Amino acid sequence: MKKPVDGFSKLTKEEKIDWLANHYFQDRKDAVSIIKQYWNTNAALQKLHDEFIENTITNYYLPFGIAPNFAINGHLYSIPMCLEESSVVAAASKAAKYWLKRGGFKAEVIATEKIGQVHFMYHGDKEKLVRYFNQIKPLLIEATDSITKNMRKRGGGILDIILKDKTADLDNYYQIHATFDTLDAMGANFINSCLEQFAKTFKAGANTYEEFTEEERDIQIVMSILSNYVPNCLVKAEVSCKVDELNEDQNISPQAFAEKFVRAIDIAKAEPHRAVTHNKGVMNGIDAVVLATGNDFRAIEAGVHAYAAKNGTYSSLTHATIDNGIFKFWIEVPLALGTIGGLTNLHPLVKLALEMLGKPSAKELMQIVAVAGLAQNFAAIRSLITTGIQKGHMKMHLMNILNQLGATDEEKSIVVELFHNKTVTHSEVIKEFNNLRAKSL
Ligand code: MEV
């Protein structure tokens, strides 16, 4: 086994790379050159990125693509998307155009409540704890005054704090459950700072609460942290049109398409294995915009999947109906997003992404992101129930295969043309590429 390293974070960037190259790579020169190849020549920009995290040695590129033509509530957006998976941006763009001709997307924010909890253990009489909580509650709020001052000025802040008895789930376990409105900020730091202050004030107050016995005074704060499960920070996006207007595909009638589409959604509602893949397709759209706009995609993922399982079984995030000849397709997702604070003020590409979206409020961004998820799901289901997914996927994958083979631009365009009306398989691409190379020898 290799020896552990001490004080790695104290090394300079060059020293870190040296250490890594010496310990983990046979061709150390090659490793160093790959690492440095991704450094930005603009030293200030590189320093900015270095300082986002610890122990940075280089940058990791993800494509930043654009899906244009999204009509949302009567505004036309070009949506920035960051992800590595080929065909996602193409699918989003296709879905955007499809719905542009059919009235566009409608979206509305249902609620914007964020949640945080102080988890604590209390051994004693519950009634006394309730009385103590009611007495200390105004003090808990007051103690956070300096933290919440600016947020309150802008119209947000703490909405409420309640005591929750969780002893049915775990012996002696209680919570201070707090709700917040953090306006255009995602609000993680704000919420966590408030919670830690609640915990301090709550614990200190218990020490002198006259009704408590010695044991009851000994409240044990376990942790204070926001929850990424935000079922009341919810946005809805939808599309609808007459069934007759639905499909341009000659191989399936609009009515049959609509019925098959609804069936596909019903399957994802009924069957968790399918629901996970179905929702993964939704997240292709959601995550890509969340990343491009500098938001925390892990928080969004965790919250969205918890919401998908809110009724006890993991199920579809999207819904579809046919009613009186009208096809309706919609999504409801919890999205705790921010358009100020965090990376949004720091990362030049995030700033650019937000400017491109018209400097949206957090609520507007929630709508845009939900639409991206719905569009992605529409594109996936449309392909799955008609041509199958591989046709589009492999077309996009063709470029990856050609890049792996080291094809020139000219060779790429010849091979792409060859596969215009032909199924793309890895072996067929290699065969055609080799034929082409052989001919030019
Ligand atoms: C692939 O990234 C996403 C899909 O599998 C989604 C789906 O099956 O609905 C195509």
In this structure, the answer to whether residues 106 and 120 fall within a common structural domain is: no
Residue 380 alpha carbon to ligand 1 centre in Å: 6
Cβ(280) to ligand 1 under 6 A? yes
Residue at which a domain ends, from 387, 405, 422: 387
CB 364 within 8 A of CB 86: no
Q: Which two structure tokens, joined as six digits, stand for 86? A: 């080929």
Beta-sheet pairing, 64-72 with 220-227:
unpaired
In this structure, the answer to whether residues 401 and 319 fall within a common structural domain is: no
Task: Tell me whether residue 433 is in a domain.
Answer: yes
Task: Tell me whether residue 251 is in a domain.
Answer: yes
Angle at 35 between CA 31 and CA 39, to 5 degrees: 155
Which residue, 108, 100, 110, 106, is CA-closest to 73?
A: 106
In this structure, the answer to whether residues 133 and 212 fall within a common structural domain is: yes
DSSP string, 159-211: EEEEEEE-TTTSTTEEEEEEEEE-TTB--HHHHHHHHHHHHHHHHHHHHT-TT
Cβ(380) to ligand 1 under 6 A? yes
Q: Which two structure tokens, joined as six digits, stand for 231? A: 């079922």
In this structure, the answer to whether residues 323 and 180 fall within a common structural domain is: no
In this structure, the answer to whether residues 246 and 184 fall within a common structural domain is: no
Most ligand 1 atoms within 8 A of CB, residue of 378, 389, 395 to mutate: 389
In this structure, the answer to whether residues 199 and 302 fall within a common structural domain is: no
First to last CA, the chain: 49
Cβ(281) to ligand 1 under 6 A? yes
Residue 369 alpha carbon to ligand 1 centre in Å: 18
Cβ(344) to ligand 1 under 6 A? no
In this structure, the answer to whether residues 254 and 361 fall within a common structural domain is: yes
The CATH number that applies at residue 259 is 3.90.770.10
Task: Tell me whether residue 58 is in a domain.
Answer: no
Rounded distance between C-alpha atoms, residue 141 and residue 158, angstroms: 8
Residue at which a domain ends, from 366, 387, 408: 387
What confidence tens digit (pLDDT) does each residue in 207-218 have? 999 999 999 999
Most ligand 1 atoms within 8 A of CB, residue of 274, 277, 279, 387 to mutate: 277
Closest residue CA from atom 1 of ligand 1: 281
Cβ(434) to ligand 1 under 6 A? no
The helix, strand and coil proportions of the chain, stated in percent and rounded to the nearest 5, come to: 50, 20, 30
| Catalytic residue IDs | 85, 280, 296, 393
In this structure, the answer to whether residues 145 and 171 fall within a common structural domain is: yes
Q: Which residue is listed with tokens 């915009």? A: 289
The CATH number that applies at residue 181 is 3.30.70.420
Neighbouring residues of 204: CB distance < 8 A, sequence distance ≥ 6? none
Q: How many domains are contained in the chain? A: 4
In this structure, the answer to whether residues 76 and 191 fall within a common structural domain is: no
Task: Tell me whether residue 3 is in a domain.
Answer: no
Cβ(278) to ligand 1 under 6 A? yes
Ligand 1, residue 282: give the atom nearest the CA. 6
Q: Is 414 helix (H, G, I), strand (E, B) or coil?
A: helix
Q: What is the model's pLDDT at position 146?
A: 97
Cβ(102) to ligand 1 under 6 A? no
Cβ(347) to ligand 1 under 6 A? no
Q: Which residue is listed with tokens 């529409």? A: 378
Which residue, 257, 284, 253, is CA-closest to 380?
A: 284
Q: In terms of residue numbers, what domain contains 210? A: 114-227
In this structure, the answer to whether residues 330 and 408 fall within a common structural domain is: no
What confidence tens digit (pLDDT) does each residue in 58-107 have? 999 999 999 999 999 999 999 999 999 999 999 999 999 999 999 999 99
Which residue, 104, 111, 112, is CA-closest to 371?
A: 104
Task: Tell me whether residue 59 is in a domain.
Answer: no
Q: What is the model's pLDDT at position 52?
A: 96
Q: What is the model's pLDDT at position 64?
A: 98
Neighbouring residues of 128: CB distance < 8 A, sequence distance ≥ 6? 211, 212, 216
Task: Tell me whether residue 250 is in a domain.
Answer: yes
Task: Tell me whether residue 1 is in a domain.
Answer: no
In this structure, the answer to whether residues 244 and 356 fall within a common structural domain is: yes
Closest residue CA from atom 3 of ligand 1: 281
Q: Which residue is listed with tokens 């609000």? A: 187
Which residues of the chain are modeled with pLDDT < 50? Answer: none
Neighbouring residues of 429: CB distance < 8 A, sequence distance ≥ 6? 398, 401, 402, 405, 415, 419
Task: Tell me whether residue 2 is in a domain.
Answer: no
Q: What is the model's pLDDT at position 395?
A: 74
In this structure, the answer to whether residues 118 and 106 fall within a common structural domain is: no
Closest residue CA from atom 10 of ligand 1: 380
Residue 346 alpha carbon to ligand 1 centre in Å: 33
